[in-house]
Structure 1
Amino acid sequence: MPPELTVFFGMIAAGKSLLAEAWAARSGAEYWNSDRVRKELAGLAATERCANGVDQGIYTPEFSRRTYDALLDRAAAALTSGRSVVLDASYQSVAERRSLQDLARRLGVRLRFVLCFCSEAETRRRLALRAADPAAVSDGRWEIYLAQKERFEPPDELPADMLVVLDTEDEPSRLLDRLAQLLA
C-alpha cells in the first residue's frame, strides 16, 4: 500500500491529538504532533509548561514557522521512505495547508485533512482538564483559543474529497470507527 499523509487540524482542544495519535497507531503511520516538536526544538521537555502569551516565547510567528517547517521535513522524510504519516497541528492558515498539498503533490502521495471541532463549552471543559493534568503537552489556554478563533482561516480551499469534518464530541472509539469509514 502506498504511503499516505493524513493531517488532523483545527482549533486548540478540538480533540486533534487524541484522535491523530490513535489513528496513527491504528493505521501504523508515523505520528508527529506540533506541541511535541515545538518543545523539542526549544530544548524543553514535552510536559514543561510555557505560559507565554499569544505570539510570545515559543509561540511567536517565527518559532511557529520553524515548528511547521520541521513537521513538513519529518513528513517528507517518512513519506519518501515509504511510510505513511499522521500530522497533528492547528494548520490554521491556507498557506500552512497549501504547503502540505504541495508536498503531497511533489511526492505523489494521497493527502487527507481531518478538521476536528467541538463546541465552545466542550473546549472550555477540555482546557480546564488539560490545565490540571501534569502530563499534558499542550500549553493551550482560553485566551489562546480566542486568538486562534479570530485567525483561523476556514479550509474552503480544500476539495471535498480531501476533507473530512469531524465533530469530536463523541467517544474516541466511535470517532475512530467513523473515521475508518470516512477515510476508506
Structure 2
Amino acid sequence: MLSVAVGRSGQVLANGERLTPSVAERLREDMPLLAGMVTFYENNQLAGRGLDSAPQDGVTHLLPPADPDPMPTVDEEALAEAQTATAVLVRQGKVAEPVGAMVIPAQRGGVLFAVGGLDGELYVNGQALTQQWADTLRSEVPELASDIDRLQAMRAEWLDTPPQDRTLALAGSCTDPNCHTLH
C-alpha cells in the first residue's frame, strides 16, 4: 500500500516519510508494482505540484511492470570529456578520485558523469550541479532532463545535511537499469 499526503511544509510524504530521492528509490524497490505511482509523486514533488492530478482516494488499477529500455551505448567522446573535467576537480582537491561515479548515457549521444565531492557537493560533468549548470546540461542532453532533476533533488538532500565526504555516495545508489555505475 502507498499512502501519500502533503506535509505542512509542502513536502510530499509517502508512507509517512519525506519523499526524497533515496526514499523514492527504496519504495520503488520494495513495491515494484507501485513504482510508477512513486515516480509520479516524485516528479510532482520536483515540479512543485504536490498532489495535483493524483488519483482520488481509493484503489488505483496497476499496470504490470514494464521491461527497462534497452541500455544506450556510452558516448565515449562525451565520457572522456566529462572524465577530463572531473580530473581537474581531483587536482583541485574537490574530489578524491572519480570512484563511485554514476554514468548516465543519453540515447542520442552525451553523458552525465556525476561524482560526489570531498566537500559534500555533487559534481556533474566537472561542475557543481547548480541551477544554471543543470539548465545548461538540459539543453545539451534534453532526453536526460529527468535524470538531471533526480540528481538535483539528490544534491538538495545532500545540502540539507552538513557537508561530508560524498566520494562513494553514488556507488550502488542508482537502481535505474539504464545507468552505469563505476566502482
The structure that has the greater radius of gyration is 2
TM range (shorter): under 0.3
Higher relative contact order (CA 8 A, sep 6+): 1
Q: TM-score, normalised by structure 1?
A: 0.26
More helix by share: 1
Q: TM-score, normalised by structure 2?
A: 0.26
